[in-house]
Amino acid sequence: MQFEKKIEIAYADNKAVDALSDSTELSKKIIKQVMAKGAVWLKRGQKTQRIRRADKVLNAGDSLYIYYNSEVLDKQPDNAVLIADEGVYSIWYKPYGMLSQGSKWGDHCTINRWVEQNLQPQRPAFVVHRLDRAATGLIIIAHQKKTAAYFSSLFQSREIEKKYRALVWGNFPEYKMCDADIDDKPARSHVSLLKYDTANNQSLVEVSIETGRKHQIRKHLSVAGFPIVGDRLYGDSNALDDKDLCLTSCYLSFIPPLEAIKKNYTLPVEKLPANHWLINISR
């Protein structure tokens, strides 16, 4: 079931859960779950924000918005895994299906919401870069607004080194630089062959990127004639419905805030994808 509804609040002192219950066919129990998952919004004056508290007291003139999509609300990706807690920021392994950003339909599947609910001691969580929903791997979460701004400046000035691994179709060359523009903007990816699976005609490659365009690696490899296995959006005509996108972020390197020495973070061996992706590997 899916619907969205705007509810105008005529009288003060009404609770959000009561107003939603009176205006929808949902039970209060379901409404509380929907609110907890970030699918209810409150507009008060010029400000619109998610609200999660069922007992939130409303003012006359407020507007409530509920965005109900049972398919979205029922989704539950695997748990994120803490790699390093550095106080003002942390490094996490983002699993397949977990989002880097929520929508009006909810934010319970986002990495920042997971971190806010599970990291101890609890802290605010700010996403400073993104991984595709279908991709896995390392992601930085900031815990202060000034730390988030610091990392944003590092990304803009290309001072964060990022490496990815991908499984692609075909016998990839030893090295290839991909520089096709993306959305009319310059983009550059460096791709090196790690191993080739002769039986399946698939190559394990390592990718480093100089720019961070949307779907950059997926688009560059597709344009080069080596689409990523499982990438139904960019050219894997052999993709199976139950096959995840074979792309993972495996390495981050940068100078942390208030420090002078560069730190490196590598995906733990048990999270590296080669053993899951490839069976018969040869060079």
Hey, where are the domains in the chain?
2-72, 75-157, 160-283
SS3 state of residue 197:
strand
- Cα separation, 78 vs 101, in Å, equals 16
Q: What is the pLDDT of residues 200-223, one digit of tens each?
A: 999 999 999 988 899 999 999 999
The whole-model pTM stands at: 0.88
**The pairing of beta strand 136-142 with beta strand 247-254:** parallel
SS3 state of residue 276:
helix
- Cα separation, 118 vs 192, in Å, equals 37
Rounded to the nearest 5 degrees, what angle is found at the Cα of 119, between the Cα atoms of 114 and 124? 75
Q: Average pLDDT for residues 126-150, to the nearest whole number?
A: 95
Question: Which numeric CATH code is attached to 160-283?
Answer: 3.30.2350.10
Residue 239: pLDDT over 60 = no
- CATH: 3.40.47.10, 3.10.50.40, 1.25.60.10, 3.10.290.10. Which one for 2-72? 3.10.290.10
Residue 154: pLDDT over 70 = yes
Q: Average pLDDT for residues 66-78, to the nearest whole number?
A: 95
Q: Is 184 a catalytic residue?
A: no
Structural fold of domain 75-157: Pseudouridine synthase (3.30.2350)
Residue 126: pLDDT over 90 = yes
Catalytic residue selected from 55, 62, 78, 132: 132
**pLDDT above 90 as % of the chain:** 84
